[in-house]
Amino acid sequence: MSESNVKYTEGEALDFHARGRPGKLEIIASKPMATQRDLSLAYSPGVAVPVRAIADNPACAYDYTSKGNLVAVISNGTAILGMGNLGALAAKPVMEGKAVLFKRFADVDAIDIEVKTEDAQRFIECVELLEPSFGGINLEDIAAPDCFIIEQTLRERMNIPVFHDDQHGTAIITAAGLINACLLTKRKLSDIKVVVNGAGAAAIACTELIKAMGVRGDNVIMCDRKGVISKERTDLDQWKSAHAVATHAKRLADALEGADVFLGLSAAGALKPEMVKKMAKEPIIFAMANPDPEIWPPDATEVRPDAIIATGRSDFPNQVNNVLGFPFIFRGALDVRATAINDAMKIAAAEALAELAREPVPEEVAAAYGGRAQSFGRDYIIPAPFDPRLMEVVASAVAEAAVQSGVAQKPIANMEAYRQELRARLNPTVSVMSLAYENARSNPKRVLFAEGEEPNVLRAAIAFKEGGYGTPVLVGREDVYDLLREMGVDNPKDYEVLNSRNSPLVGRAVEFIYAKHQRHGMLRRQIERMVNQDRNFFAAAMLSLGEADAMITGTTRPFSESLKQVRTVIEDEPGATPFGINVIVSRSHTVLIADTAVTERPTAEQYAAIALRASSFARRMGLEPRVAFTSYTTFGNPPGMHVEGLREAVKLLDGFHADFEYEGEMAPDVALNYDMQRQYYPFSRLSGPANILVMPGLQSASLSAKLLRAVGGESVLGPYILGLELPVQIAPMTASASDLVMLAVLAAGDAHAHQQREAARV
């Protein structure tokens, strides 16, 4: 139930999957493979040692192989998303995507397996034989009733967790929301009357779970396409008949009279406003049909303003999104080597999610939703998908339930230590970047794309608009519309294009820039030529004049040239020198490199200012800043030139009483290796490896960032410009469309923050 309101073109989706290495997954060695000795240890003859150990004790497989963190995502493609039976091969993009979500949200390695059979028994036999390879099995997109038979049989035959997310993932998130909706309306689960519309895999799983949590069986009425599933019907299979009740109701409308809860897992439009009107006071409505709900929330609230409503969509409150569950459920199950995922673990996950929604919401989550103070209430009964606490809260609850219910083979002795381990397992920056996109959707801005005729820029502008992040304003010529049409845009005129040669705004741009530079040797006709012929001057003027909120450029010329043009029009922040930060993001850590953009060799004061601003930026990225002023020398060894400014910057920060850790001068290998710091430099003031490297000059910074981008294998974002009076980002010439979208989103976020600061001053 994770349908989003994000739009895209078919071409963009195909390009995303085809670009670079086709697909969304690759396998990377977790041990060094640089020397012959490495290879001998990894394979023959060294591999024989763990082989013998596992043969003697099968449990050693969890110690010497990846089994304990490896899940198989398996489908036969008989029920792919909402598209039906398209076959095993067509399911592969979805299964790869599910594997990506496992990794992104819970650091679980997952491999997709597509099984070419619609015979349930053959499917079971295939999966059963895979048990030695995996720590868990995630079944996906398998049609009912086979999904019930397959899951139940595999759970009985296999000694590892087997979980059909389409059933139980939806059920767990729904149950969490139901707990909180009942709390808000002062209901008890044992008293509520529930109507379930739909009798497929998810509907039956939801029904079974809420009954296991205390909802009385005779208080639940289930409906299918033929109407109410009652004991009078003779056309029911064993799964439906298990939920048949004695009732006079024949149709959904009859069943809903006086009902407290509607759980919809059926079809768009199935729930009519007149049905909602007849429900009990403060009705609870979960309209989870995908992609369009059984009833649109505004239609429901029009007849029942007292209703609490959840859907499967991200553009309404209370999204029932499976990503809140399955990654963390498997995380907890794997960590205790559970033999199954049982009802106790599912209930623990639901209760943990419900409890988390009642906790104060972190700033980064609130920021993603427009700075609104998200808090427990009718529009917030389910946590946000990017809440950074999900890993810790849900996984630990599942692990603890596994231990208490007797399915854990490796109980956790110290649960608090385990929770700390979970907190540290994922890089917080990854979540923060995701939140930046949510923030952009909640606070859409007008962003100038200054190079509006470039194909990459146009692709980025399309993605920015269709993603709901804001309004792209393209600076280009008349043929931009033709280019948009060639890229598959149905209505190119929906895009705003500013032509720097004939726009009515050109005169204002010329006047603005001329007023700034007329006493600095520039003639009006020079300014006119600059504005007419170079889009950066025109776009920067438009930003300054309030025609847009932010600007991106950079793909057609060297970074320094773009920055020089922008600074001709846009002032630096008072008392600041602009500088750049590259964000180096890996799975487990983030390192910021500054100054990568502007100053050839900063002064001590500039070094200190860079550290101060970079620390603030780091906190926005979810990091607790630890700054290292880097050099080729570490605390004077070896002695060298150009280190006094770095040492003086440390003294300046001492005088400022800076509220972050800093140290220097240090070589990068020392700064990033905390063990080396403790062993050789015990006086170092850093409490861990540095995550901000203030570089000694532009050369070293630029070389480092570009080398990492080209050969380092890490994700390099930026350089991200700080210190300009208005939000402008300058992309590297090698930037992809995705890079440009990311910079546009961050620039839009800066614009929102800038506007909030200005409003606060007023």
- Cα torsion 304, 305, 308, 314: sign: positive
Q: Which of 67, 98, 193, 445 is catalytic?
A: 98
Closest CA to 337 of 426, 406, 391: 406
Q: Which of 7, 8, 43, 277 is catalytic?
A: 43
Residues 6+ away with beta carbon under 8 Å from 730: 552, 553, 554, 559, 562, 563, 566, 597, 719, 721
CA angle, 161 as apex, 133 and 312 as ends, to 5°?
115
Whole-angstrom distance, CA of residue 324 vs CA of residue 269: 26
Residue 536 and residue 507 in contact, taking contact as beta carbons nearer than 8 Å: no
546 C-beta neighbours (distance < 10 Å), count: 9
Residues 6+ away with beta carbon under 8 Å from 628: 662, 663, 664, 666, 668, 671, 672, 686, 690, 692, 693, 694
Which tokens in the block code for residue 219?
Answer: 């208080």
Kindly state the helix (H) or strand (E) to which residue 542 belongs, with its residue range: helix 535-544
Cα 519 to chain centroid distance, Å, stands at: 49
- Cα torsion 380, 386, 389, 390: sign: positive
Has 277 been annotated as catalytic? no
Kindly state the helix (H) or strand (E) to which residue 157 belongs, with its residue range: helix 146-157
701-712 per-residue burial string, b: 16 or more CB within 10 A, e: under 16: bbebbbebbeee
Which tokens in the block code for residue 599?
Answer: 């100053």
Neighbouring-strand partners of residue 553: 730
Which tokens in the block code for residue 2?
Answer: 């994770």
Whole-angstrom distance, CA of residue 762 vs CA of residue 596: 35
Whole-angstrom distance, CA of residue 110 vs CA of residue 628: 36
**Gyration radius of the chain's alpha carbons:** 29
Has 43 been annotated as catalytic? yes
Q: Are strands 715-722 and 284-287 parallel, antiparallel or unpaired?
A: unpaired
Contacts 24+ apart (CB under 8 A), 26-29: none
Neighbouring-strand partners of residue 724: 572
Closest CA to 596 of 694, 517, 524: 694
Which tokens in the block code for residue 461?
Answer: 């502008």
CA angle, 190 as apex, 185 and 195 as ends, to 5°?
75
Neighbouring-strand partners of residue 452: none
**Burial grade of 654 (CB within 10 A; 0-12, 13-18, 19 or more):** exposed
**Burial grade of 30 (CB within 10 A; 0-12, 13-18, 19 or more):** exposed
Q: What single letter denotes the amino acid at residue 153?
A: T
Map tokens 């861990």 to a residue: 688
Active site residues: 43, 98
